[in-house]
């Protein structure tokens, strides 16, 4: 069996072989992830929220926020 590091390297090698720009795009997208929560609206008691996440993380956050709503 491969270590986690070697497995990640092997996957990256295959991705690079199939889609040479894929790793670069994924890494660039990872660097642009961000979540912001704005100030509280005194009248409504709510706060705005916006951001950019990996799709899998966004799906998890969406489920959790729906549970909280």
3-state SS record for 7-51: HHHHHHHHHHHHCCCHHHHHHHHHHCCEEEECCCCCCCCCCCEEE
pLDDT at residue 60, rounded to an integer: 96
Cα atoms found within 13 Å of the Cα of residue 12, Cβ hemisphere only: 11
Distances from the Cα of 52 to the Cα of 30, 45, 63, angstroms: 9, 24, 16
10-residue mean pLDDT series, the chain (69 residues): 92 89 81 88 85 92 92
């Amino acid at each position: 069996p491969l270590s986690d590091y070697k497995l990640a390297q092997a996957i990256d090698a295959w991705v690079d072989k199939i889609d040479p720009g894929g790793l670069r795009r994924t890494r660039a997208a990872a660097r642009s992830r961000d979540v912001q929560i704005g100030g509280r609206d005194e009248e409504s008691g709510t706060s705005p929220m916006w951001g950019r996440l990996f799709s899998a993380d966004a799906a998890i956050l969406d489920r959790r926020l729906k549970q909280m709503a």
